[in-house]
Amino acid sequence: MALFGLFGRKDRTWDSRAKSLTFVLDEAGLTYEDGHVGLKPATLTIDEKRVAVIGLNGAGKSSLLKVLDGSEKATAGHASVVETLYNDDGTTETADALDLAVKADAKKARDVIGIVRREEIPQSYYMAENISEAVAAQLRKYRLPEGVQHETVGSLFAHFGLTPYARSKASSLDSEKRHLLAIVGALVINPAAIVADEPTKGLDENATRTVAKALFGYNKQVIFATHDLDLIVNPTYRIDRVLVVDDQTIVFDGEAQPAVDFYNDLIRRRYEDMKSEA
C-alpha cells in the first residue's frame, strides 16, 4: 500500500493510488416523498472516465446523479458502485460492490465518491480562518501527518489556480473561485470519482473554460450534468459518453456529437409542439 495508507483510522483508510468506479443501476428509480417522480426506472452501467448528462430543466438530470452518488436512495430497483484501485505494478484490485440501499455501504460510498453541486461549498468553509484551513480540515478524520495534509491541499490548490487565495476567506471569493473550491473540496479525500451537478453553471465563457480545463485536466473520473453543449463536444475535454434525459427517462446514450444532435432535435420538437398547441 502507498505511504498514505499507513495513516488511516480503523474505519477510514487513506490510499493515494489511482482509482475508478463502476456505477450500476438495475431498474433504479426515484420518487420523492411528495410523490414527484425524479427518475423513472433505469438500467445502465457507467465505467467511462468522462460521462455527461444533459436535458431540459426538470428532466431528471439531478435526480439521476443523486441516485448514482447515493445522496438519494433509489425507491425502486437497485443502485450500487464498485471501486477499482490501480497499483504501480500494473495490477488492479476490485473491492466488493457497495449497495447504496444499505446504510453502511452508503456511508462508505461517501469516501469514494466526491460530490460537487455547482459552486456550493460547506458552511464550515465560511467559518474557517481561510480556505486552506477549511479544505485541510476534511483530511483530519484520516489522522494524516500535518505535512501530508499541507502537501495534498497545496497540490490541489496549485492545479486549480487557488494558491494565491489560500489565505483568503471563502466569503471573499468570486463565483469562478467558488466553483473551483467546490471541486477541490470534493477531490481532497482522493475519491475514486466525482459526481458533479452543473460544475460550470452561471459562469461566463472564460470562467467556464478555466473551470472545465482544471476539472477535466485532473485525471479523475467525472460524471457530470451540464447545459453547456459546446463543452461536451469540445475535443479538449474528451467526453466519452453522453446521456440525454427527458421526462425523467434516459432517452439517448451514446457519443458526444450524436447526443447533442439528438438533444437539439428534441428541443426543436418540443418547440414545434408548443407552437401547435398555442
What 8-state DSSP symbol labels residue 97?
P
- Say what the pLDDT of residue 9 is: 32
Query: Of the candidates 229, 223, 222, which has an alpha carbon nearest to the alpha carbon of residue 260?
Result: 229
Count other C-beta atoms under 10 Å from residue 104's C-beta.
9
pTM exceeds 0.75 for this model: yes
**Pairing relationship of beta strands 76-86 and 98-99 according to DSSP bridges:** antiparallel
The type of residue at 6 is L
More confident call, 277 vs 241: 241
Q: Which three cell numbers stand for residue 226?
A: 451540464
CATH number at residue 155: 3.40.50.300
The parent domain of residue 55 ranges over: 3-277
**Could you report the per-residue pLDDT of 5-57, keeping only the tens digit for each?**
333 333 445 677 888 999 999 999 999 999 999 999 999 999 999 999 999 99
Residues 6+ apart with CB under 8 A from 2: 15, 16, 17
- Say what the pLDDT of residue 13 is: 58
Percent of all residues in the chain with a pLDDT value above 70, rounded to a whole number: 95
What integer is the mean pLDDT of 126-135? Answer: 96
Query: Of the candidates 220, 223, 256, which has an alpha carbon nearest to the alpha carbon of residue 24?
Result: 223
- Say what the pLDDT of residue 76 is: 97
- Say what the pLDDT of residue 29 is: 98
Could you tell me the strand order of the sheet in which 241-246 lies?
A: 113-117, 193-197, 221-225, 50-54, 241-246, 249-254
- Say what the pLDDT of residue 4 is: 35
C-alpha to C-alpha distance for 27 and 22, rounded to whole angstroms? 16
**Could you report the per-residue pLDDT of 60-88, keeping only the tens digit for each?**
999 999 999 999 999 999 999 999 999 88
Q: Are 88 and 128 in contact (CB under 8 A)?
A: no
The number of distinct structural domains making up the chain is 1
C-alpha to C-alpha distance for 101 and 189, rounded to whole angstroms? 23
